[in-house]
Structure 1
């Protein structure tokens, strides 16, 4: 018998099956356990030390207030107002950050002339600038959007610049050898390499946008989660303040996770190791 025929007739080895992970990961269980332990210690300490509710309420009292704000519907108009400010400011910061970052990275003159002024403006405390936005734009939604955009702008800008400057020089040489134009080189090589850095900056920028919107509402607003914090702080409603902080944390985490989901679908090939986070 021909050896090749004997090999062909032999049964093939069964393919190895890759194990399928199911259930909750160990890290997630550890986070849940630590969180529950922390809340348990907090609850016992407040009860044992008899801490007054107007100083530090117990987790159970805060959870009851969170549920009350939700069932009564009181939190929804404030939540939606802050969400609109955050998204609008984040969109404005993204447009300006991507546009200016691209110019700084690709045009040497813009980098030498404009970028030092951007760095100088970044050193100015944004809380000190927010009252000026109230004077310039009034007490409407505009100063909150501008404040959110100003705070979220810088991490997006820096990551765009870092992503474009991190382009592999060999790829650029290849595009030059193929007689590709600057626009083709940007779309085919520089833009795909910059996207992981961009999304890393966006994940940080969306959190900064939440902070910026709240800072703007602290200065002057009648609607929004920041104004609700000021109202409850004036009434010494500490449990109510913690309830607002819970909804603020929920907003920030949800927006950050949404951006990470988009990044996994659109920028699936790599994640940057040296992206700028702040």
Structure 2
């Protein structure tokens, strides 16, 4: 495991080295060197220039992820448990996911304004489907022998759901949550592309307008860091949860 980690860091250093070499042969407008990007990033963080944008985007990600995941999980449980509702809603859910959220963004901005609400709605809709799909799958494919055992023991539908189906399907549900967490970053930033004066997405558009490529790269690094941190936090919570579950 340690050897794999060392190789990963070596690959990272190699990528930076190749990037630095290529950047020396190009204009900074096309490809800024990593040293220039890091300098821009540190200056922006030290001056507080990035702070309001980081806070705005982070709030949109967290709120959108929470609402989208909550709605996705509840809908997934309902569709997994009730076949009639699953057959009734599933075509509409698929149809809603077939429409690119970027195409709907101007409509959401028209309905909810240029503030945070429209970005939260876009983020929530993007987060909804992975958790809904994984929850439906987890509920549907619970071990039938275990379900029969619960019935023999006299467990009702709710007891079977909360004490067997959801705990047994937790790995699949949490996997969907991890995917949703990554997509939440995409949703918030894309929403800020369309309409917004604050947030990392809006800052990327502003840097494009100013032809400030180092600023654009530094903001992309911030977006990557935020997405990675959220993913790692969820992963650590998942590991602790399974460790507690196995221990008990």
The reply on whether 1:172 has 2:134 as its aligned counterpart is: no
SS in structure 2 opposite 1:256? helix
Please give the alpha-carbon distance, in whole angstroms, between the structure 1 residues aligned to 2:211 and 2:66.
35
State the 1:55 CA deviation: 1.1
Looking at structure 2, the residues matched to 122 and 158 of structure 1 have their Cα atoms a distance apart, in angstroms, of: 11
Task: Give the CA deviation at 1:95.
Answer: 1.1
- Structure 2 residue corresponding to 1:246, chosen from 198, 218, 221: 221
Contact 1:85 1:141 in 2 (8 A): yes
Is the radius of gyration larger for structure 1 or structure 2?
Answer: 1
Shift of 1:87: 0.5
| Aligned pairs (5 A) from 1:16-165 | 25-47=2-24, 49=25, 51-165=26-140
Cα deviation, residue 142, structure 1? 0.3
Moved over 2 A (4+): 267-270
Per-residue CA distance 1:149-188 (angstroms, 9 max, x = gap): 1111111111101111121101110011011111111121
d(CA) in 2 for partners of 1:193, 1:125:
33
CA distance in 1 between counterparts of 2:207 and 2:21 reads 25
Give 1:207 deviation, angstroms. Answer: 0.7
Question: What TM-score does the superposition give when structure 2 sets the normalisation length?
Answer: 0.96
| Distance across 1 between alignment mates of 2:161 and 2:2 | 40
User: Which residue in the other structure is 1:218 paired with?
Assistant: 193
Cα displacement (A) at 1:89: 0.4
Matched-pair contact (CA < 8 Å) for 1:86–1:145: yes
Q: 1:44 deviation in Å?
A: 1.7
- State how 1:184-263 maps to structure 2 within 5 Å: 184-263=159-238
Gaps of 5+ in 1: 1-23, 271-278
| SS of residue matched to 1:267 | helix
TM-score (norm 1): 0.86
Give the number of equivalent residue pairs: 245
Gaps of 5+ in 2: none
Cα distance, 1:70 vs structure 2: 1.0
- Contact 1:195/1:267 (CA < 8 Å) preserved in 2? no
Q: CA deviation at 1:45?
A: 2.3
Structure 2: distance between partners of 1:46 and 1:111: 53
Cα distance, 1:57 vs structure 2: 0.5
In the aligned structure 2, how far is the partner of 1:55 from the partner of 1:125?
A: 29
For the Cα contact (< 8 Å) 1:199–1:263, is it kept in 2? Answer: yes
Please tell me the root mean square deviation across aligned C-alpha atoms, in Å.
1.1
